[in-house]
Amino acid sequence: MNKLDIKDLKKDEEIEALIKYTDAQLEHLGYTEHSVRHVSIVAHWAREIIEKSGGTEDEARLVEIAGYLHDIGNCVNRASHAQIGAVLAYELLTKRGMPYGDAAQIMTAIGNHDEREGNPSSRLAAALIIADKSDVHRSRVRYSRRTEEKAMGDIHDRVNYAVQSSHVNIVGDEIILDIVIDTDLCPVIDYFEIYFNRMKLCRSSAKVLGMNFVFIVNGGRLI
């Protein structure tokens, strides 16, 4: 039997519905974009981090799935969405024939991706954390608030709106988050005000992978 991979999940109606209504609920609550765009980017970066830190193809396949499913718990409730989503994902994946051990590893990764209660407790969890926390970008601000004036009201919108590009590059033993931020719209300190804990978690996650986390803002190395 073929091993389940992200391509199977991308054409799965049940998963499509969960991602659609995750984003709908978060839009209603005033959060930034959490659609197929966000989870596809996270899946892609998580795979790359595992591949380039010496992981196997099986690990890369599993972390890519974890990336794609990591936010579906938001379809239930924003609070504890990581843990809710982890259990949901385990059920969905085993129902589709995934071996229990593989689904359990994905459950651990998803259940730990949120910075409030999460820990890089496995290689997959570590890669998922870094990939998820790196997706800060103007395109995540909702269309209805995507003007300079409107985005200024909320610090998450303001920071995301100010980020003009955001890339994860892996060079040697460094996982580099390289962002370009418009400091006329948002001073760099605002980024740290809301994302300091995330950056600390990225640093400890990189260690689990035997790598170092580097954070570059407008060409200057901050971590």
Q: Per rule CB under 5 A, is residue 23 in the interface with Fe ion? A: no
Q: Taking the complex as a whole, how short is the minimal distance between the CB of residue 40 and Fe ion, in angstroms? A: 11
Would you say 100 or 196 has its CB closer to Fe ion? 196
Contacting range for Fe ion; rule: CB under 5 A; set: 70-78, 86-94, 118-126, 144-152: 70-78
Contacting range for Fe ion; rule: CB under 5 A; set: 23-31, 104-112, 125-133, 199-207: 125-133
What is the C-alpha to C-alpha distance for residues 162 and 204, in angstroms, rounded to an integer?
A: 26
Q: Are 109 and 63 in contact (CB under 8 A)?
A: yes
Would you say 55 or 118 has its CB closer to Fe ion? 118
Would you say 64 or 132 has its CB closer to Fe ion? 132
As separate numbers, helices (DSSP H) first and strands (DSSP E) second, the chain gives 10, 4
Say which amino acid occupies 61.
R
Backbone angles phi, psi at 112, to 5 degrees: -115, 10
Q: Taking the complex as a whole, how short is the minimal distance between the CB of residue 36 and Fe ion, in angstroms? A: 12
Q: Taking the complex as a whole, how short is the minimal distance between the CB of residue 157 and Fe ion, in angstroms? A: 16
Tokens standing for residue 101:
């051990």
Answer for which of 23, 71, 102, 157 binds Fe ion (CB under 5 A) is: 71
Tokens standing for residue 219:
């060409």
Q: Which residue reads 């010496």 in tokens?
A: 54
Q: Which residues pair with 63 in a beta bridge?
A: none
Q: Taking the complex as a whole, how short is the minimal distance between the CB of residue 82 and Fe ion, in angstroms? A: 6
What is the C-alpha to C-alpha distance for residues 191 and 199, in angstroms, rounded to an integer?
A: 10
Contacting range for Fe ion; rule: CB under 5 A; set: 64-72, 145-153, 172-180, 215-223: 64-72
Q: Taking the complex as a whole, how short is the minimal distance between the CB of residue 110 and Fe ion, in angstroms? A: 9
Would you tell me how many other CB atoms lie within 10 Å of the CB of residue 223?
15
Q: Which residues contact 79 (CB under 8 A, 6 or more apart)?
A: none
Answer for which of 23, 48, 102, 132 binds Fe ion (CB under 5 A) is: 132
Say which amino acid occupies 188.
V
Q: Taking the complex as a whole, how short is the minimal distance between the CB of residue 149 and Fe ion, in angstroms? A: 27
Number of residues that bind Fe ion (CB under 5 A): 2
Q: Are 92 and 14 in contact (CB under 8 A)?
A: yes
Contacting range for Fe ion; rule: CB under 5 A; set: 25-33, 104-112, 131-139, 177-185: 131-139
Tokens standing for residue 197:
């804990």
Q: Which residues bind Fe ion (CB under 5 A)?
A: 71, 132
